[in-house]
Structure 1
Amino acid sequence: MRKNGKLSNLYLIIVFIILYAPIFYLTYYSFNSGGTMHDFERFTWEWYKEVFHDTRLFIIVLNTLIVALLAAGISTVLGVIGAIAISNVRRNRTRNTLLSLNNVLIVSPDVIIGASFLIMFTMIGIKLGFISVLISHIAFSVPIVVIMVLPKLQEMSPTLVDAAKDLGASRWDVLSKVVLPFITPGIFAGFFMALTYSLDDFAVTFFVTGNGFSTLSVEIYSMARQGISLTINALSTLIFLFTMVLVVGYYFIAQRNNKAAGMGVRK
């Protein structure tokens, strides 16, 4: 048993090294004054200063954050409604069909999703830009929220709802004071997952973005095509740190919710 445990730990260490080594390599050279990713000359903040002094890049960062926050917020609302609707379906066959349809956008290749949205927006006359990117991000984020919220709904005992109804609670009271508080961890998980997916998405955004509007993922791709620039390293490092802050924030929120739930059970 101990030998298997050591092998498992060794395997995890190797996996994490493979995953994080390129990121640390990129971050390391973002402080290189030499301007290349081969020979480190001396420590500098030059490339980070370029990122913060680039007005166009600041606007693109703002566009990315606005799209991500709006997409995450709207998809969270729609995803919670969808998860509650699916959980209330009585017939197993119908419920499984709805779940399968929900999972289509998760398992489908991003290229196909992006091309499909591009064709749809062209056919119905929606100009490519902020609106098209926002709609696309909401579309692929909603299924993620549904997947995050459904397990919490399945954990909830039906007797809680029945007890609330027996005590005279209206449908809105049951939803707002019983169901939503119970599934709050799932809602937060769905929101943060949707936010992360929106911030990181490239393939779908590349298809549906238009002239005059861009996001960080598309901009980094365009910068990389022009040649190696350590500004890309600095920008990518900042995005990685921002994502880590989101993950840590979600962790502490989940821990606090778990403690609150534990105290509630003890009472």
Structure 2
Amino acid sequence: MAKAMQAREGSRWRGSNVYLIVVFAILYAPIFYLMLYSFNSGGSMHDFQGFTLEWYKEVFADTRLFIIVLNTLVIALLSSALSTILGVFGALAIQQVRRHRHRNALLALNNVLIVSPDVIIGASFLILFTMIGIKLGFVSVLLAHLAFSVPIVVIMVLPKLEEMSPTWIDAARDLGASRLDVLTKVVLPYIRPGIFAGFFMALTYSLDDFAVTFFVTGNGYSTLAVEIYSRARQGISLSINALSTLIFLFTIVLVIGYYFINKRGNRPPGTEVQR
């Protein structure tokens, strides 16, 4: 009987592993195909003739592309930092709401920009900026990225706030801590993993966003996603493969960094206090 159960569990485990392998193969096969042909000396996506770094050299030699990379990084880092600050205070404000109906209403409003189609968000911001006279460019892209990044940070931070025991705050106040001390020495250290998670998620979304950014960029200003789309429309060039490979590797580095930060932060409650 025991052997039969073990055999059944083993077959189920193998079946689930095969299913996961197939799913990940389908998801990652196009990416690896793109990365492979970024080293193709043949100049096409159909016949791999030999290994070369020519397309990467072309990417690094492109001055205009370097400026676009700087634009993308500045927008991503600045919008992520600002959205993290706004998102933390937004999560704190939602967490302080006592009535469940009002809290659920605020969460629903927060989630609207997450579940709404990017095309609708981008078109809405384009109409808004045109009506109020904001010139399309750096400012318009930054405001649009803030709009969809702040709700992400709220979603990442709020569970950590809900997880924190209220007795910690009561104990700090009983010991004479001010509101600022409670925030900086009790609340923020505890929710730090959620803050880092929100920052990295906002950074990743900002780097990868195309639809919203496409609507709010003006003449003379562009980001990597919009630039890749524009080049792809002009025809197949393996420099696009090389550029996409570099972006993918950079994203992998961000994910690994988030993983280790989150791993360090997931410690039993009270560890920071004992220190």
Question: TM-score, with normalisation over the residues of structure 2?
Answer: 0.94
Secondary structure of the structure 1 residue equivalent to 2:266: helix
Q: Determine the structure 1 residue equivalent to 2:228.
A: 220
2:213 maps to which residue? 205
Does 2:236 align with 1:255? no
In structure 2, the CA distance between the partners of 1:22 and 1:54, relative to structure 1 (3 Å rule), is same
Deviation at 1:4, TM superposition (A): 2.3
State the match for 2:165 in structure 1: 157
Measure how far apart 1:7 and its partner are.
1.7
1:148 counterpart = 2:156: yes
Q: Counterparts in 2 of 1:7-22, with a 5 A limit? A: 7-22=15-30
Cα distance, 1:264 vs structure 2: 4.2
Specify the code of the residue in structure 1 equivalent to 2:108: S
**How far apart, in 2, do the equivalents of 1:181 and 1:188 lie?**
11
Are residues 200 and 78 of structure 1, via their aligned partners in 2, closer, same or farther at CA, if it must alter by over 3 Å? same
Question: Which of 21, 40, 65 is 1:32 aligned to?
Answer: 40
3-state DSSP of counterpart to 2:109 = helix
Match of 1:229 in 2: 237
Aligned equivalent of 1:97, options 93, 96, 105: 105
Q: Which has more radius of gyration?
A: 2
Question: What are the residue-to-residue correspondences of 1:113-128 with 2, within 5 Å?
Answer: 113-128=121-136
- Whole-angstrom CA distance in 2 between matches of 1:37 and 1:216: 21
1:173 aligns with 2:181: yes
Please give the root-mean-square deviation of Cα atoms over the aligned residues, in Å: 1.3
> Which residue in 2 is equivalent to 1:45?
53
How far has the Cα of 1:251 moved from its partner?
Answer: 1.1
Query: What SS class does the counterpart of residue 41 from structure 1 fall into?
Result: coil
Q: Distance in 2 between matches of 1:263 and 1:19?
A: 39
Q: Take 1:17 and 1:122, find their aligned partners in 2: how far apart are those partners?
A: 44
Quick one: distance in 1 between partners of 2:264 and 2:51? 39
Paired AA for residue 61 in structure 1: V
The residue aligned with 1:60 is 68
- Aligned-pair identity in percent equals 77
CA displacement 1:21-76 (0-9 Å, x = unmatched): 00000000000011001111111000000000000000000000000000100000
CA–CA distance in 2 between the matches of 1:125 and 1:180? Answer: 38
2:96 to 84, 88, 99: 88
Gaps of 5+ in 2: 1-8
Deviation at 1:258, TM superposition (A): 2.8
Q: What letter matches 1:76 in structure 2? A: T
Unaligned runs of 5+ in 1: none
How many pairs align? 267
Q: CA 1:189/1:215 → structure 2, altered by over 3 Å: closer, same or farther?
A: same
The offset of 1:262, in angstroms, is 7.6
